Amino acid sequence: MTVTSSADGQLARWERPTTPGAFPEQSDELTHFMMVYKFGLAEIETKIKILAEELAHKGRGNPIEHVSPRLKTPASIATKARRMGCPLTYDDLRARIRDIAGIRIVCSFVSDVYTVADMLTKQPDVNLVVTKDYIDKPKTNGYRSLHLIVEIPVFLSDRVVAVPVEVQLRTVAMDFWASLEHKIYYKYDPDIPAALRDELAAAAEDAARLDKRMERLHHEIHGPRP
């Protein structure tokens, strides 16, 4: 498993808002607001590393290919808040934007996605808040992934804070498709040519078929994971 961390450098790169009043004034309060999410992300990342190492030690094979944590910048939070019509107060941001901290877990097979999700959410200090299963019910553009919003306790010096973290779990094939779709969307937004949309949807179906075939081959060779 390889882990690429982007969280540590985020707090040093505050982005000045381009529009007056676009985000609460940069201050110690903003720094503390962001740090709490950084700590929550670190807690989840540690849990995932422990699961991966334990499974590998038990000889069950590591179902996790790689993990990518992500912390939104203040500018990105402000952009999403404006899009949602969310007031730019810290209380409203905490209550309504649940993906300020996020982590992506890429697994070998579809069954591994659900296994890792189950192991993570069964831990007594992980509170599952929302599940969105875009593997069982893909988005109209073909996107597939399992999205969870979980709350993890962060123990500060003066209190305990339940920090929401978005956990995205997907296979290698799903991750490859999502990466390509993101690049195409970024280039053409908002006017992606219809033919290209159709090709992307067809590619998503191809990726889903590949996932099924590879899992079937894995079972034939090794049997299902114990």
| Residues identified as active-site | 166
Q: How far apart (Å, rounded) are the C-alpha atoms in residues 194 and 214?
A: 30
Q: Which residues contact 116 (CB under 8 A, 6 or more apart)?
A: 48, 51, 63, 64, 105, 107, 169
User: Could you tell me whether strands 101-107 and 160-171 are parallel, antiparallel, or unpaired per DSSP bridges?
Assistant: parallel
Handedness of CA 44, 50, 52, 55 (dihedral sign): negative
Over the range 108-139, which residues count as b (16 or more CB within 10 Å of their CB) and which as e?
A: bbbbbbbbbbebbeeeeebeeeeeeebbeebe
Q: How far apart (Å, rounded) are the C-alpha atoms in residues 137 and 31?
A: 38
C-alpha distances out from residue 158 to 35, 148, 161, 178, Å: 15, 28, 10, 41
